Structure 1
């Protein structure tokens, strides 16, 4: 009896010693990252509060997943630095593999920390659902990424996205506040239609039609020119309060043709094509001041707003869609090409300039009669547009002219990324290897760059231009420039769980904005990948919408 008690005592003492060892070990081996502690204090106002916030957010997220009968996404695989180095990037195939790894890293971070939200905050490691998507959680990153995942052969990731779309994509139920009609069209309708075009999976087509139907009330105006915003809960459509005279915006109502025509073509329902045809009929009948198309049009009166003109924001994709609608219909509808030719000719005459010192060509903005010698990152898409135009021109002179213009714009946009203080662009050297939101051409005694133009939010337009230029010319410099940008993204934008925009591209170290935009996965990584892959998505078979979603050419 005594011996048994003694043995029991020994067991208890031994167990106590083991338990104490475990406790002390956990204290010594817990992470002690001072930067992480500081980050918690910075975001929450008190130490450790973000642990509670993240736990609460993740719990709510998983509850939603369980209610939708979707298994929680697995933890992303960790890719070590040594594995990345072993991939090798000396060949186009190696570069493609690296870009695929970057895409997978961005997707995995979103999947782990923001599944179902519109975008990821990669430093905070939470979802980001706001801005052009209203306040609802609509899974914008999932829909935007689908065709890129398919093109890259990331099959498992694509199937994860497909399952979420099938079981959880419901804008009518989940949208909150005002949504951008334009952004919803190019990202959701466009992304779903592209996924259908690549897979012939009817579920994607049904979902695209559901989303497009939700946008139709925005077209109920006197002229048929749609409003910019729609509230899917109330059905109320409106325009931005800041837009000139309550007007709709050219790039928004002028960039619906590809998606709506394709949807009518697939479903046999003519209503979508009829909506965009009415827009084009209104535009065709309006007088164009000096051949130019203003940014603003009143949807009630059918009259132009303020006389502002741009190749960039609030106008850009209108020109792109004129050209691409002509191409996607097998060059049959000559009206679109004529409208395109007319406005581009006017823009060349009135808005195209060449810098004095280094002869860099750029499209300035016009504010009434005032010339604003500034070119926007968004306007750099035009290098690709002109290259695509040149490829499809019948006249040798026109082919030569527009390919030269494409190359000149591509060079100017490269200078905004690489260097500038020795050029006519009045900004300092871009330390981080990516370009600003806009860059100016100024006289020596004028102020240089405004602070609001120094940011980079992972935009694709410069790459887009180089993609088309590479495909048309096979000049290796476009691949070099693209790879330089990929390395700049890897070095400066890759953060905790994804990629972040940068607030000042002229700083020596990045100050991140903590948002991984959905178009990084839809556009930036797609164009990077395709620059190093000549065998897929051939330009005589596919047309990309303004969100880089691919539609087949109809011959």
Structure 2
């Protein structure tokens, strides 16, 4: 199973011009037709063509007189930058970084209220906040900040810490950050050297009977470590959200070991998968079996679904197994999880909770949606235009007849989910809660509520619920960025700008940096003393890209890992899928 390195679809500089060597779909072999057909054979052929026409929406193409000529569909639409708004996002990043650099340089995390940093282990940190932010600096063209961060990586960064680091978080933030920094910096070797060292220290996490990784890894000892809070278990999302990073590293180094470990975990997950394609949020790393646990698109489940699509796209659509898994999962999302609000009919996704009644296992639908789920809106729209396009290219926005019936269905769900996610920002602060619940007919409402959703347990302002927090999360602005790139609809920029202004008003601290909020429904909310690394890595990066020209990191040349680190698509020339 050798991996032969070939040229990626994108090389460097930023902004990127569309590549001329984009991946083309495989050509089908020519099949010689038999010289004659019997009556039954002709009828079967006609039936098969009719079924194909229905599935690919050919009838729609033929009947819709407004569909433009095929050649016009391939015109590249370049969306221009909104420079004033983009530059305000840059200033926000510089403000956040300056506070971190002043108070916590080298630490993993930053606490802006107490003006100090902290590390994830007692033995020291590995620069989570720095490495997570480097590619944002490169994308924004911040030379001074970049040089400071790059010098720290070259001269101060050490992975020789006798402490337990989360396998998933370290991969998506640090390994992903190093790999993207390598790509965007014209392949500065220091970033690849550090990425290889880190990956080699982490590979022992995969040494389990099933190939599913331990939840933690000791970087100094190079040992996988069972998470003491979930002994013997691994989060489904965490085990299935390491692949983009390790496969790209394998491509860069011609080292099959990284690739095999990453896909070995996916093989174990697929072997245990349920028929409907949805997955519980916990696996047993020793047996490879799913634990009876919640099925949800939020925490511990979210990025499993995200990476199914992105793994297919990353390798030039060469691994069809991920497309099959993605389609099956999205079909089940439509069938089992999608619901409508009671008053405004907002579309949302529910969770399935396992319950035992009279000795039988049943599943109860819960109208709960994490902010984390909001990634799915953009993902569905991207999936519709890349996996369900009738022709190779789709216009901006897609025109009638360019998508299959499945593609139209996924696109519409993505659009509607994004409306709902934006609506959850309709709070006193204009910022979204960590978790919302939706009213159902079982609530017996006498009057129509102002909102389709509510924050559970948040009735007393002085006693805010856990769900009411705002943690500077990126998922909604991520989907706004993708939606704008795929449609050019200025409403998505307007929504993103309102969110950014609310962040500036309620999370920005006069003393420097940005803080999370304890209660989004209270204007004078208590601040939480933490500025998550993903604020600089994801939230501000996606806002910057939302207001940038569409030639910057184009979606047909890059996949963004779940921490918003853009990795170039590539075509593995000799590897075949193990499935």
TM bin (shorter chain): 0.7 to 0.9
Name which of structure 1's ranges 154-163 and 346-355 shifts more when overlaid on structure 2: 346-355
Rate the CA distance shift 1:176–1:121 in 2: closer, same or farther, 3 A.
farther
Equivalent in the alignment of 1:432: 429
Equivalent in the alignment of 1:37: none
2:526 is aligned with 1:511: yes
Match of 1:487 among 501, 507, 510: 501
Q: Which whole-Å CA distance do the structure 1 matches of 2:239 and 2:135 have between them?
A: 24
SS of equivalent to 1:353: strand
2:231 is aligned with 1:216: no
Match of 1:370 among 364, 374, 388: 364
Residue pair 1:310, 1:366 contacting (<8 A) in 2 also: yes
Aligned-residue offset at 1:246: 2.8
Residue pair 1:166, 1:203 contacting (<8 A) in 2 also: yes
Equivalent in the alignment of 1:296: 282
Equivalent in the alignment of 1:472: 486
2:188 is aligned with 1:193: no
Equivalent in the alignment of 1:57: none
2:395 is aligned with 1:394: no
Rate the CA distance shift 1:267–1:134 in 2: closer, same or farther, 3 A.
farther
Equivalent in the alignment of 1:454: 468
Residue pair 2:455, 2:468 contacting (<8 A) in 1 also: no
Match of 1:537 among 532, 537, 553: 553
Q: Which whole-Å CA distance do the structure 2 matches of 1:235 and 1:333 have between them?
A: 31
Residue pair 2:339, 2:350 contacting (<8 A) in 1 also: yes
Bigger fraction of residues in helix: 1
2:137 is aligned with 1:149: yes
Q: Deviations over 1:119-159 (max 9, x none)?
A: 221121111323xx676222211100000000001011111
Aligned-residue offset at 1:227: 0.8
Name which of structure 1's ranges 232-241 and 362-371 shifts more when overlaid on structure 2: 232-241
SS of equivalent to 1:230: strand
Aligned-residue offset at 1:553: 1.2
Residue pair 1:316, 1:378 contacting (<8 A) in 2 also: yes
Rate the CA distance shift 1:186–1:337 in 2: closer, same or farther, 3 A.
same
2:163 is aligned with 1:163: no
Alignment of 1:312-323 (within 5 A): 312-323=298-309
Alignment of 1:75-474 (within 5 A): 92-130=82-120, 136-172=124-160, 175=161, 177-199=163-185, 200-243=187-230, 246-368=232-354, 369-392=363-386, 393-395=388-390, 396=403, 397-418=405-426, 430-443=427-440, 444=443, 449-450=456-457, 451-474=465-488
SS of equivalent to 2:339: strand
Q: Which whole-Å CA distance do the structure 2 matches of 1:241 and 1:177 have between them?
A: 14
Rate the CA distance shift 1:135–1:388 in 2: closer, same or farther, 3 A.
farther
Rate the CA distance shift 1:445–1:234 in 2: closer, same or farther, 3 A.
farther
TM-score of the two chains, using structure 2 as the length reference: 0.75
Aligned-residue offset at 1:372: 1.4
Equivalent in the alignment of 1:86: none
Residue pair 1:128, 1:515 contacting (<8 A) in 2 also: no
SS of equivalent to 1:171: coil
SS of equivalent to 1:266: helix
Q: Deviations over 1:415-443 (max 9, x none)?
A: 1002xxxxxxxxxxx11111000110134
Q: Which whole-Å CA distance do the structure 1 matches of 2:328 and 2:264 have between them?
A: 20
Residue pair 2:162, 2:221 contacting (<8 A) in 1 also: no
Equivalent in the alignment of 1:23: none
Aligned-residue offset at 1:241: 3.9
Tell which has more relative contact order, 1 or 2 (C-alpha 8 A, sep 6+): 2
Q: Deviations over 1:373-404 (max 9, x none)?
A: 11100000001111110121224223322221
SS of equivalent to 1:308: coil
Q: Deviations over 1:504-547 (max 9, x none)?
A: 10112131111111111100000000000023111111110000
TM-score of the two chains, using structure 1 as the length reference: 0.78
Q: Which whole-Å CA distance do the structure 2 matches of 1:436 and 1:184 have between them?
A: 26
Residue pair 2:202, 2:224 contacting (<8 A) in 1 also: no
Q: Which whole-Å CA distance do the structure 2 matches of 1:134 and 1:533 have between them?
A: 41
Residue pair 1:442, 1:448 contacting (<8 A) in 2 also: no
Q: Give the total of aligned pairs.
A: 449
Q: Which whole-Å CA distance do the structure 1 matches of 2:455 and 2:470 have between them?
A: 17
Equivalent in the alignment of 1:522: 537
Aligned-residue offset at 1:409: 0.6
Residue pair 1:387, 1:406 contacting (<8 A) in 2 also: yes
Q: Which whole-Å CA distance do the structure 1 matches of 2:332 and 2:300 have between them?
A: 18
Residue pair 2:515, 2:529 contacting (<8 A) in 1 also: yes
Query: Bigger radius of gyration, 1 or 2?
Result: 1
Q: Deviations over 1:33-53 (max 9, x none)?
A: xxxxxxxxxxxxxxxxxxxxx
Q: CA RMSD of the aligned region, Å?
A: 1.7
Equivalent in the alignment of 1:62: none
Residue pair 1:134, 1:178 contacting (<8 A) in 2 also: no
Equivalent in the alignment of 1:550: 566
Aligned-residue offset at 1:286: 2.3
Rate the CA distance shift 1:470–1:316 in 2: closer, same or farther, 3 A.
same
Name which of structure 1's ranges 543-552 and 326-335 shifts more when overlaid on structure 2: 326-335
SS of equivalent to 2:528: coil
SS of equivalent to 2:217: strand
